[in-house]
Amino acid sequence: MSTQPKYQRVLLKLSGESLMGPDAFGINRDTIMQIVGQVKEVVDMGVEVAVVIGGGNIFRGMAQSAKGMERATADYMGMMATVMNALALKEAFETVGVKARVQSALSMQQVAETYARPKAIQYLEEGKVVIFAAGTGNPFFTTDTAAALRGAEMNCDIMLKATNVDGVYTADPKKDAAATRYQTITFDEAISRNLKVMDATAFALCREQKLNIVVFGIFKEGALKRVVAGEDEGTLVHV
């Protein structure tokens, strides 16, 4: 396998749910270490990695209490859940010897730096993993949109959307045995076929900024390394 990375700087979008593993909510230690191990492999290849993390593993566990709540308030609670996940990721990275920094779009200086683009770029150039927490800092925007925004701001070569399915399929592979994986697909084709790659705002931003996306399965051993090496892993969504 090629050890030459195809991409020098990547934005990895992780859902909060990806940290749960087999658990109903929260952070599963074995699962977070498996994800961190995959990221370490690409950091060791010399790739600069920025991460945007969601908060669904914590906040969806409180979804019942959010019913009837004003949307903005619920979104701020979700942003704070992403900060908890970011701190857990940072600690896990440092356990395996990877330096990491957390930058939050909401100011909470006792636990994380406030997001600052020049500082984040400096950290990436120094080989540190930068974990972006608290989404965009605004309600009504998803962490997919935050990932598209940070990917563009950091001048990333590609956005890597980690999921529990190994790419974009013609239909739901869990429901349709005849579903096949797209190796590559254009943004326009994905829209016309109504393939839900990510939310519409994030997708439009990536297309406008010409920030291609690879959708891949994070729990497939070595998948992230193969994506970064430019191998046939996942689905490339391109302009």
140 marked ligand binding residue: yes
56 marked ligand binding residue: yes
Residue 100: which of 77, 74, 128 has the closest Cα? 128
136 marked ligand binding residue: yes
160 marked ligand binding residue: no
DSSP-derived secondary structure letter, 115: P
150 marked ligand binding residue: no
166 marked ligand binding residue: no
54 marked ligand binding residue: no
Compute, in degrees rounded to 10, the torsion defined by CA atoms 132, 22, 224, 179.
Answer: -120
26 marked ligand binding residue: no
3 marked ligand binding residue: no
Half-sphere exposure for 54 (CA within 13 Å, toward CB):
20
Residue type for 188, please?
D
173 marked ligand binding residue: no
143 marked ligand binding residue: yes
16 marked ligand binding residue: yes
Question: Cβ contacts of residue 90 below 8 Å, gap of 6+?
Answer: 100, 101, 102, 131
180 marked ligand binding residue: no
118 marked ligand binding residue: no
Cα–Cα distances in Å, from 170 out to 49, 50, 194, 202, 214? Answer: 30, 29, 10, 21, 16
2 marked ligand binding residue: no
15 marked ligand binding residue: yes
Tokens standing for 136?
């965009």
137 marked ligand binding residue: yes
144 marked ligand binding residue: no
Q: Binding site for ATP: what residues are annotated?
A: 13-16, 56, 60, 163-164, 169, 172
What residue numbers does the annotated binding site cover? 13-16, 55-56, 60, 75, 136-143, 163-164, 169, 172
Which residues participate in the annotated binding site for UMP? 55, 75, 136-143
